[in-house]
Copies of this chain bind each other. A is one copy, B any other.
């Protein structure tokens, strides 16, 4: 329970993803300091030791520092494995599945993930995007009413259907991971040639890739080779080809999700500015309106709300 007139305790909020940990120190309700650390997928030490070392400068002998973590902290390789709460789940249902543990004498609450079993073929899951979505609803309460479709692009792009404040459907597209694999390890981009930051070339390639994705009866696998032939036989630059690959993948992702969610008109993008910009352009190219929220701000808002919900458990 939140007690509005009581000053909030000094505490730490953390968004622990696969590739990055972001920590916020909260004092009297304000962000007093931030730190970054390695993601769960990049750890060399046990996660508890990593966490303790990062927050050590913020600890004092006279008080107990509370910590709330979301994301991959709750995965099997994280700090403490938490449940995947079945959808549809609103904030209360999700937050109640958070679990408390102790790390180097600090009480740490670890958020649950979410699991969508509604799909015909296979379940879908997420950890961390839940916090950002509930955070967006904190930042804009109007999102708690009615139906909304969110996209949280990244290594694994999450498309999330919201119904009256509850997370109802999850669909993951492997877009970001596939882009990285194809960009860095395939024959598609000429090895060795530097991808000088020619953003005009990249933009032109991105738009060409988006356009190509609009009519793709032969499907993605048969179009990817064009990234190579455009360089080999059409003299396209590596920056153009990289943009083309990006546009082709993001465009195809949106085309597929549009087929699943037939009535898409508006999409809420939660991402950093650069990725949000690409998705805005890609959605606009298909006539879909979008609005954006900053991913970090949403994570922080969701973690604040989660702390309010679980702080009674710490004492």
The residues of A with any CB-CB pair to B shorter than 8 Å are 84, 115, 121-125, 156, 159, 171-175, 177-178, 181-182, 185-188, 212, 217-226, 229-230, 232-234, 249, 252-253, 255-257, 259-260
Contact = CB atoms under 8 A, between A and B. Distances in A.
A173 B221 CA distance: 5
Given A125-B233, A181-B181, 18 more contacts: A121-B223, A122-B234, A123-B233, A172-B225, A173-B225, A174-B186, A174-B222, A174-B225, A175-B221, A178-B182, A181-B182, A217-B256, A218-B256, A219-B219, A219-B256, A220-B220, A220-B252, A222-B256
A259 B217 contact: yes
B124 A229 contact: yes
A202 B252 CA distance: 29
B177 A222 contact: no
Given A220-B219, A259-B219, A124 B171 contact: no
22 contacts: A115-B233, A122-B230, A125-B229, A125-B232, A171-B222, A172-B225, A174-B186, A178-B182, A181-B181, A181-B185, A185-B185, A217-B256, A218-B256, A218-B257, A218-B259, A218-B260, A219-B255, A219-B256, A219-B259, A220-B252, A221-B249, A221-B252
A130 B203 CA distance: 36
Contacts of A225: 124, 156, 172-174
A260 B217 contact: yes
Nearest to A212: B121
Nearest to A120: B215
Consensus secondary structure, chain A interface: helix
A302 B219 CA distance: 31
Contacts of A256: 217-222
Contacts of A259: 217-219
Contact of A221 (B115, B125, B230, B253): B253
Contacts of A122: 226, 229-230, 233-234
Nearest to A115: B233
Contacts of A124: 225, 229
B178 A221 contact: yes
Nearest to A156: B225
A220 B222 contact: no
A28 to B, nearest CB: 40
A208 to B, nearest CB: 9
A172 B222 contact: yes
Contacts of A234: 122-123
Contacts of A187: 177
Nearest to A119: B226
A221 B176 CA distance: 10
A218 B232 CA distance: 31
A115 B234 CA distance: 12
Contacts of A125: 229, 232-233
